[in-house]
């Protein structure tokens, strides 16, 4: 048994513990503290000399054992080229049981397919070590391996979580050069992934039938020099997993068909976007966008700006005309719905519904694992993509946030316009994002009986709360100019009806706004 002393390593304090000690009830740990530790350790990594000149990532890992011991490692700590997980699990803990331990790593663990065939992937090492839980900083930015490690861990019973969003941004900033080098359609041979994570990664039975208009738009907006039918351009599509070559013939994969196919719905009926506008006079306008995915954003934007009228906001004392919700924000939300949806759900399509009060975007599938609905509702969800190849292409075209899902933009836009904050909800099988075009839109989504029970001050107070994520009694009272007793009465009523969640107690109590939406 080895006693680990309390000492400093790269600015990180390591806890006292007994290596090999396994108490029946492991002590609790603070996940945020260990995430921060992993980020600090990561910065000890250095660029190692490589003959091929490739940039390697900075990676830090932290292990929290079932006995309460904390230890760390970083890439190249002991030997150039050694992954951080290898250094920790094979160099430092090779002869130690790590059953039920928790691992924090700043970069998604690699899989067997992404490594030399003689080497075991880090995700496999974690599973073999019987580690029960892994916290991942960011996914691997290479679109050919992105999310494979996360899916492998999940498939083998390991619980996976993502680092907090602000720490993800720190990791991306430190690895900017590596990320850029891995997202520029690398020139190396294709990395074959077997088995595929999705049937959309497999080749179609028929030869390529891509839309020239879609390919040209991609080439133009991604600033690609190669001509669309040239061998280098085709090689690029192959490397991205959008084409497969067999006996000199090119076959599109499912993802390739979604992005560039002439008639994508012929092989993927769930492709495309359904648009509906319900005008104030009761008339309805429908528009189906049955196009390659890369063509939909521009066509949607033309339709949206042409058809959407200004509305009259009657929620204020003085009637005022307000413009349509910012087009670029709605377009980004639509792109997110198309990119991040679950294409394995074949009986549902992305939809957008627009009324004088709301704009609702419906995307089949819940939040991509391991992101939770609660994280999305708080606008602080970690950055992660369900379909990294689709996301990569849209990011190249400057149509999608590089790794996130637009949460900060959605929230800040509503705040700038003094509108209720947008809301996420899950109505199987759809993840719904609702933008509110006025304060009355929120009330229309609540129970009519409850809305009728509100007096004028309660109604005004609830409309204010829709613009907040959290509030306290004093903040609510000060903004509404209510006395503390009246403010408390309002907040209690809202909480009893499930519109607020109490957090804490006494003078430190906060209320989290959790309005249910139909």
What is the Cα gyration radius of the chain? 26
C-alpha dist (Å) from residue 404 to 368, 381, 415: 12, 9, 19
Cut 0.85: pTM above it: no
Report how far apart the first and last C-alpha atoms of the chain are (Å, whole number): 58
* Domain shared by 451 and 342, yes or no: no
* Domain shared by 329 and 432, yes or no: yes
* Domain shared by 247 and 301, yes or no: no
In the chain, the number of structural domains is 4
Which of 382, 416, 441 lies at the terminal end of a domain, its last residue? 441
Residues 6+ apart with CB under 8 A from 15: 4, 6, 68, 69, 70
Q: What is the CATH number of the domain that holds 344?
A: 3.30.565.60
Give the bridge partners for 362, in sequence order.
351, 432
* Domain shared by 77 and 52, yes or no: yes
* Domain shared by 283 and 395, yes or no: yes
* Domain shared by 81 and 227, yes or no: no
* Domain shared by 222 and 173, yes or no: no
Q: What is the CATH number of the domain that holds 69?
A: 3.40.140.10
* Domain shared by 411 and 472, yes or no: no
Whether 189 is in a domain gets the answer: no
286-320 pLDDT per residue, tens: 999 999 999 999 999 999 988 876 544 444 444 44
Q: 25 is in which domain, residue-wise?
A: 2-182
Asked if 58 contacts 76 with a C-beta cutoff of 8 angstroms, the reply is no
430-458 pLDDT per residue, tens: 999 999 988 777 887 788 899 999 999 99
Q: What is the CATH number of the domain that holds 493?
A: 1.10.10.10
User: Tens digit of pLDDT per residue, the chain (518 long)?
Assistant: 333 433 334 444 444 444 444 445 556 789 999 999 999 999 999 877 777 778 889 999 999 999 899 999 999 999 988 999 999 999 999 989 999 999 999 999 998 765 555 578 899 999 999 999 999 999 988 766 778 899 999 999 999 999 999 999 999 999 999 888 876 544 444 444 344 456 788 888 888 799 999 999 999 999 999 999 999 999 999 988 899 988 889 999 999 999 999 999 988 999 999 999 998 888 899 999 999 999 999 999 999 988 876 544 444 444 444 556 788 899 999 999 999 999 999 989 999 999 988 999 999 999 988 999 988 988 888 988 889 889 989 988 988 875 556 788 898 998 888 888 899 999 999 999 999 988 777 887 788 899 999 999 999 999 899 888 889 999 999 999 999 999 999 999 999 998 999 998 887 899 988 876 55
* Domain shared by 215 and 152, yes or no: no
ω before 476 within 30° of 0 (cis)? no
């Amino acid at each position: 048994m080895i006693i680990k002393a309390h000492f400093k390593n790269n600015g990180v304090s390591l806890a006292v513990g007994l290596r090999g000690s396994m108490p029946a009830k492991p002590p609790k740990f603070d996940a945020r503290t260990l995430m921060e530790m992993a980020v600090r350790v990561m910065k000890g990594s250095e660029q190692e000399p490589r003959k091929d000149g490739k940039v390697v990532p900075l990676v830090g890992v932290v292990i929290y054992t079932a006995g309460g011991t904390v230890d760390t490692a970083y890439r190249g700590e002991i030997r150039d080229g050694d992954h951080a997980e290898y250094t920790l699990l094979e160099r430092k803990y090779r002869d130690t049981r790590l059953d039920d331990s928790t691992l924090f790593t700043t970069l998604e663990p690699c899989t067997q397919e992404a490594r030399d065939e003689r080497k075991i992937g880090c995700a496999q090492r974690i599973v073999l070590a019987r580690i029960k839980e892994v916290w991942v900083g960011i996914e691997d930015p290479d679109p050919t391996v992105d999310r494979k490690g996360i899916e492998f861990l999940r498939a083998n019973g390991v619980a996976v979580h993502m680092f907090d969003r602000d720490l993800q941004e720190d990791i991306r900033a430190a690895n900017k050069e590596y990320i850029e080098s891995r997202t520029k359609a690398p020139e190396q041979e294709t990395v074959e992934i077997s088995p595929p994570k999705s049937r959309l990664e497999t080749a179609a039975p028929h030869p390529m039938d891509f839309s020239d208009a879609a390919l040209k738009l991609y080439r133009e907006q991604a600033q690609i020099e190669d001509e669309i039918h040239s061998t280098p351009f085709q090689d690029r599509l192959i490397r991205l997993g959008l084409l497969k070559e067999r006996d000199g013939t090119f076959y599109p994969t499912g993802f390739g068909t979604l992005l560039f196919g002439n008639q994508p719905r012929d092989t993927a009926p769930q492709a495309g976007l359904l648009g509906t506008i319900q005008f104030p006079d009761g008339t309805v306008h429908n528009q189906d966008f049955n196009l390659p995915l890369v063509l939909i954003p521009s066509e949607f934007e033309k339709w949206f700006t042409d058809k959407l009228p200004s509305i009259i906001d009657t929620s204020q004392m003085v009637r005022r005309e307000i413009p349509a919700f910012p087009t670029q924000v709605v377009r980004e939300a639509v792109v997110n719905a198309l990119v991040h949806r679950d294409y394995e759900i074949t009986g549902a399509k992305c939809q957008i519904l627009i009324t004088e009060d709301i704009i609702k975007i419906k995307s089949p599938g819940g939040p991509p694992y391991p992101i939770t609905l609660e994280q999305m509702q708080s606008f602080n969800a970690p950055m992660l993509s369900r379909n990294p190849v689709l996301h990569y292409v849209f990011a190249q075209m400057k149509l999608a946030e590089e790794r996130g899902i637009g949460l900060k933009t959605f929230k800040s836009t509503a705040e700038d316009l003094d509108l209720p904050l947008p809301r996420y909800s899950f109505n199987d099988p759809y993840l719904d994002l609702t933008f509110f075009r006025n304060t009355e839109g929120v009330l229309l989504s609540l129970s009519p009986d409850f809305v009728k029970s509100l007096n004028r001050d309660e109604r005004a107070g609830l409309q204010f709360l829709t613009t907040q994520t959290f509030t306290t009694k004093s903040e609510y009272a000060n903004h509404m100019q209510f006395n503390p007793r009246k403010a408390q009465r309002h907040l209690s009523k809202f909480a009893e009806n499930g519109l607020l969640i109490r957090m804490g107690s006494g003078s430190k109590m906060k209320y989290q706004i959790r309005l249910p939406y139909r």
